[in-house]
Structure 1
């Protein structure tokens, strides 16, 4: 037999009770110049690591499943790199993904230097 709720009992708002407390995050706008800076720095780090390992563009492209022209665009900062593609590049270059971000300055620090 189903339990019946009394009409005098308030309904429980379980969703609201389970919601995490609101956090106020500081805005982190990415400007086009920030995007370009990040792409260029990632590209330089990829090129440096590839040269350290004495690999050609074709070698890296074959290991990552893209054309050598695409790798060149990544290294030149002309194309954005997806997270999955950066992971594939990191695997091919035997480096953690964090290696490619090690030389990035925070946008605020970069703007202060300019």
Structure 2
């Protein structure tokens, strides 16, 4: 005989909130073009902050446990990074993670005007 599972009122409310889409939530589809633009923006912000602190690629790589080539790929927008990797870079650059997103525009503004460009 299985023991019945009891959910707290907060868990039930959260489940109900997640079950029905809210009118306040706006979908932000991530297209390849949008993803590329976000990675390039993050990379430019990382490079700008690194240079501001007069650090080398090797300095950041050593702090984050990756190679300097990997940091270069992040800065060039050639490679996406995990949230934990971005956090590690932010710590190495002595800045909050939000710094990298400050000038990021909404997806509608990032999408190319011509759909054939993507």
RMSD of Structure 2 on Structure 1 (CA): 2.1
| One of 3, 20, 23 as aligned partner of 2:21 | 23
For CA contacts below 8 A with separation 6 or more, give which structure has more relative contact order: 2
Unaligned runs of 5+ in 1: 1-13
Match of 2:36 in 1: 36
DSSP-derived class of the 1:45 partner: helix
State whether residues 40 and 76 of structure 2, in contact with CA within 8 Å, keep that contact through their aligned partners in structure 1.
Answer: yes
State whether residues 43 and 74 of structure 2, in contact with CA within 8 Å, keep that contact through their aligned partners in structure 1.
Answer: yes
Match of 1:7 in 2: none
Once residues 60 and 99 of structure 2 are traced to their aligned partners in structure 1, the CA distance between those partners, rounded to angstroms, is 17
- TM-score w.r.t. the length of structure 1 is 0.78
DSSP-derived class of the 1:66 partner: coil
Once residues 93 and 71 of structure 1 are traced to their aligned partners in structure 2, the CA distance between those partners, rounded to angstroms, is 13
Offset of 1:30 from its aligned partner? 0.7
Match of 2:95 in 1: 95
Once residues 113 and 95 of structure 2 are traced to their aligned partners in structure 1, the CA distance between those partners, rounded to angstroms, is 29
DSSP-derived class of the 1:78 partner: coil
Match of 2:78 in 1: 78
State whether residues 34 and 110 of structure 2, in contact with CA within 8 Å, keep that contact through their aligned partners in structure 1.
Answer: no
Once residues 99 and 87 of structure 1 are traced to their aligned partners in structure 2, the CA distance between those partners, rounded to angstroms, is 11
Once residues 113 and 90 of structure 1 are traced to their aligned partners in structure 2, the CA distance between those partners, rounded to angstroms, is 33
- Bigger Rg over Cα: 1
